[in-house]
Structure 1
Amino acid sequence: MTSTTTTPGTPPAAPARWRPPLAVLAGAVVLGLGWGAATSYLQTVLPDPVAGLANAVSPWLVVPFVVGARSRTRGLAVAAGLLACVLQVAGYYATSHLRGFGVSTGTVVEWAAVGVVGGPVFGLAGHLWRTATGRLRGLGAALLVAVWAVEAVVGYGIRLGYVDDAVVFGAVAVTLLLTVGRRPGPLRATARWLAVTVPVGAVGMLLLDPLLSAFG
């Protein structure tokens, strides 16, 4: 016999529905290549102020989060997140090359390296969003909300001064907080982790360009 405990006032979470490992990895391939290719096209058609959605880090980190959320184990979530992010880079640059845009090998390597870090982290974040209990509850959602919030404030607001883009990304961050951040646990669990993930994300965002320049 087993028993479950829930936080008072919080309805018990529905049983998770997991996809088979091969289906998760196949989804990572399709979503990774598909969104990478779509990004190349969207960069030339999206109007302001939503054009930034096709020229930013945080939209690409949604894909590993999604495939991680469908993974039964943490190891599968990490692997699927890595695969999705690296294939987004491949899909984007392959499509851009076929469309006649110049592609630098160094730039591909740089962003693939970013994907090697971001993919596993956000694949795991998606898995934690579905499964975490105790102190880890809310961490997965907080990572996703934080990357959008940091890109809004630091990336577009402080560094670039693009107010319209900052507002769009900030609106996405708030929407994610009020939707993803409320499930499966109380909103305060996500808010608690935001006190950690936002400062760490801000430092990472400030260091990203110097690091890419140093290795470029």
Structure 2
Amino acid sequence: MTATATIAVPVVRRSDRLLIAGALAGPVFFASAVIQMATREGFDITRHPIGQLATGGAGWIQIVTFVLAGLGALALAAGIKCTLTEGVGRRALPILVGIFGAGLIASGLFPMGDPESGFPVGTPDQPVARMSWHSVAHSASAVAAYSALAIAAIVLTVRCMRHRAVLPAVLNGATAFVLVLPMSPDCMSIQIAVNGLVAFTWTTILALSLRRTR
């Protein structure tokens, strides 16, 4: 085995682990969220955004979930940097996915901790009169995270078009479109959940695709 091959093997294994961690971020996030939604009394996804699971005595579970998902996204960013060494997006994609990961971590560290609309149980069934500073920080972090991921999807769309990969280009473009749609006050919590599902599906598919074609 040559010296170059000896060095390359640990690098490949490291990028492989990073991509696996990135692929797991979405499933871990939604497995945790779904279990909490099913077991926490009073939570209604049609009225309460997922971030509101961070309120109440069991709120620490969702806080940890945000942080773990963010760490997984940071691992994906590092995996992208190790894997994409040429072409459109080789510099921008790791940065943008890294911003997404950092935004998720910040969303956990600054939880949406305002009880409202009947959750947790015993809370008045009405919106909070004034958002706390950490709820504002949570919302700003989420906006930054999803905006960065939408731009990343656009960058990947351009990359796929350069390689004449039509279907991946269309899917990446659709992902970006969904993530930048304005929020509707009437179905905001559902839209937030859909955005999360789209975003984490995108990161999982990207991680698995890079691992397969590496």
Please confirm whether the aligned pair reaches a TM-score higher than 0.5, indicating the same fold.
no
Report which of the two structures shows the higher radius of gyration computed on alpha carbons. 2
Q: Which of 1 and 2 has higher RCO (CA within 8 Å, sep 6+)?
A: 2
Q: Give the TM-score of the pair, scaled to structure 1.
A: 0.32
TM-score computed with the length of structure 2 as normaliser: 0.32
